Amino acid sequence: MSRELKISPTTAHKVVAHLKDRGFLVSLPGVGMQIAAPNLPDKEERLKLIEGDATALIQQARDLKLSTEDLEALIRRLGNGDQSNTGNA
């Protein structure tokens, strides 16, 4: 793999170990490495992780007299990778 990617074998080993530690790769005896979905908490628990930030964002938007629809549009635009015009109203 390191020759194919033209990187150091040490770097390739570190990347594989990092992906394995994070749960993205699984070593299966007799099969080899396979891609795996990392173990994530359920959706409600993940939402709780960002609830404080979301609450602060909503309060900041209210202070700036922005509507929920304005926030939704911003989140959709940024979620789609479009970061243009973020400073314009």
pLDDT in tens, 15-45: 989 888 888 898 889 988 899 876 777 899 9
Residue spans of the domains in the chain: they are 2-35, 43-79
pLDDT tens-digit series, residues 56-73: 999 999 999 999 999 999
Phi, then psi, of 3 in degrees rounded to 5? -65, -40
- Is the whole-model pTM more than 0.75? no
- Supply the DSSP string of 55-75, one letter for each residue: HHHHHHHHHTT--HHHHHHHH
Does residue 4 sit in helix, strand or coil? helix
